[in-house]
Amino acid sequence: MTSSVRVVAAGDHFVLPSLITAALAREADCAVRELTLGWPLEPFGPVAEVSEASDAEDDLIGALADAQVLVTQMGPVTERVLAACPGLRLVVVCRGGPVNVNLTAARRHGVRVCFAPGRNAAATAEFTIGLLLAALRRIPQAHDLLARRRSWAGSAYYTYADSGLELEDLPIGLVGHGAVGGRVARVLCAFGARVMVYDPHVRGEVHGLRLSTLDDLLCRSRVISLHARLTAETRGLVGARELALLPPGAVVVNAARGPLLDEEALCDALECGRLAAAALDTYAREPLPPDSRLPALADRVVLTPHLGGASRAVAEKAARIAAAEVGRWARGEPLAHCLT
């Protein structure tokens, strides 16, 4: 066993410091100092030169006084923090990407930076299926009628014109077949859906699924679900032209990244009745701005505030992935998910 590693577990109200500490105890001999940051009870945002971080530079500097390792989800690892903590050698971020870390400064200060890919893949896939079912079967609207308006008028959804679609035999197109998209595909196939996939990074057969061009997938799909990474090439991937290729009455689901989808074009297609419904967990601007057109379309949309990764298992997995990296570092082994 290596000598004790001095670690700061700067968790928050989701990835609890106690989860990080418990996971570290299984991986290495660590002396852990816990710090609780405010997210999600307090919003994250830009801090100095990093984004999506808690405004806690001073707290972090104080906690890191003699630490070698920082494990955090929202801690702002800025140039100021790195300069004030010369003993810091490793930062592990409990999320899919270290957007709260100044990577250039970390390299300059000789600090390794790791992250926790895949922590929320299962949770996001399950949430996507929930959104899809809610949109297809009008579940939120029916709940609102009965629970809030005390009305049994939901029986109108039993008319042929207004009744929903079922997954069995339904042509569904997945835009992206990564960790989340692949899980969604397996669940949909279990329901008996006819699943097609567009992913320019996938070659050959994917578990028997039909691979397609984007335009072909759009023309054939009664439902599309977005699972692509957000890059310069995929920003605005589905806009007015693409939505117009969908069959009339199609449904759009996005629990990936908001900017993949042109929201104004989506609202136009919903308002004119070309699309039957949409279910969204991510948006071009978050929080949803007051001038958004989406809430006014509540009879045709399911809207949730970016909750796809909000499961206890995600927090536990993130802590375990992060602790495993600390263990590798302490033992002098190669790091599995390292960017610097």
Top-tier CATH class for 121-303: alpha beta
272 token code pair: 């004119």
**CATH 3.40.50.720, the chain: domain bounds:** 5-119+311-331, 121-303
126 is catalytic: no
Alpha-carbon torsion (171, 174, 177, 179), positive or negative: negative
For residue 133, the model assigns a pLDDT of 98
Give the active site residue among 186, 286, 312, 331: 286
Third-level CATH fold of 5-119+311-331: Rossmann fold (3.40.50)
Alpha-carbon torsion (320, 178, 267, 189), positive or negative: negative
For residue 204, the model assigns a pLDDT of 67
Give the active site residue among 13, 137, 306, 316: 306
Q: What is the pTM of this model?
A: 0.93
The phi, psi pair for 301, rounded to 5°, reads -125, 150
Cβ 211 vs Cβ 202: under 8 Å:
yes
- Kindly give the interhelix angle for 121-137 and 312-331, rounded to the nearest 10 degrees: 160
Q: If the chain, 340 residues long, is cut into consecutive pieces of 10 residues, what is the mean pLDDT of each piece?
A: 84 98 97 98 96 97 97 98 98 96 98 97 98 97 91 84 93 96 97 96 77 95 97 96 98 98 98 97 96 96 97 98 98 95
The DSSP 8-state label assigned to residue 85 in this structure reads -
216 token code pair: 């072909």
Model pLDDT for residues 29-56, shown as the tens digit of each residue = 999 999 999 999 999 999 999 999 999 9
Q: What is the DSSP string of 240-302?
A: HHHHHHSPTTEEEEE-S-GGGB-HHHHHHHHHTTSEEEEEES--SSSSPPTT-SSGGGTTTEE
Alpha-carbon torsion (139, 143, 149, 151), positive or negative: positive
Q: 306 exposed, middle or buried (CB, 10 Å; 0-12, 13-18, 19+)?
A: middle
Longest CA pairwise span in the chain (Å) = 70
Give the active site residue among 257, 300, 320, 328: 257
109 is catalytic: no
183 is catalytic: no
Query: What sections of the chain are H helices per DSSP?
Result: 17-25, 57-63, 79-84, 103-108, 121-137, 139-143, 179-191, 214-220, 240-245, 263-271, 312-331
Please calculate the CA angle 132-307-267 and round it to the nearest 5 degrees. 55
